[in-house]
Amino acid sequence: KVMANPPTKDMILYIQKGHFAPWPEDGSGEEYEAGIKLRREKIIGKNEFIKAYYPSGHAWGADNTEFVEAYVLDSMDDLDDMLKRNGELFDEFTDEEKALDEKMWKYFTGKHGDYIYTYIHM
């Protein structure tokens, strides 16, 4: 989800910074891409509280394991609602989709940080 136009009001920017694990021996690019696509289409793309979503990977520098996801939301209340809705959308996964999602954890360390900013409209 990308915003078509710049925001016309103050909004919330929720940042989650995670870390990639060393590439697993039983991992594959196809499996990783399928898992990312699943979450993007079936959770992020369907969550009406997410106004925009910007995933970014750290390409150069001291820590190329960083994976940053930025979510643009209307309000702090929408942050709680987004998280609840993400769970509801996950519950709609088929058993096969849940199995693929479970496999995705091997690509990440589980270490992460959450950051909340105010996007100030100017």
Amino acid identity, position 48: E
What is the C-alpha separation between 37 and 64, in angstroms, rounded? 21
Amino acid identity, position 43: I
User: For residue 99, what is the enclosing H or E element?
Assistant: helix 95-103
49-91, pLDDT tens digit by residue?
999 999 998 777 777 889 999 999 999 999 999 999 999 999 9
| pLDDT for residue 122 | 80
Residue 2, token pair as written in the block: 């990308």
Q: Is residue 25 very low, low, confident or very high in pLDDT (cuts 50, 70, 90)?
A: very high
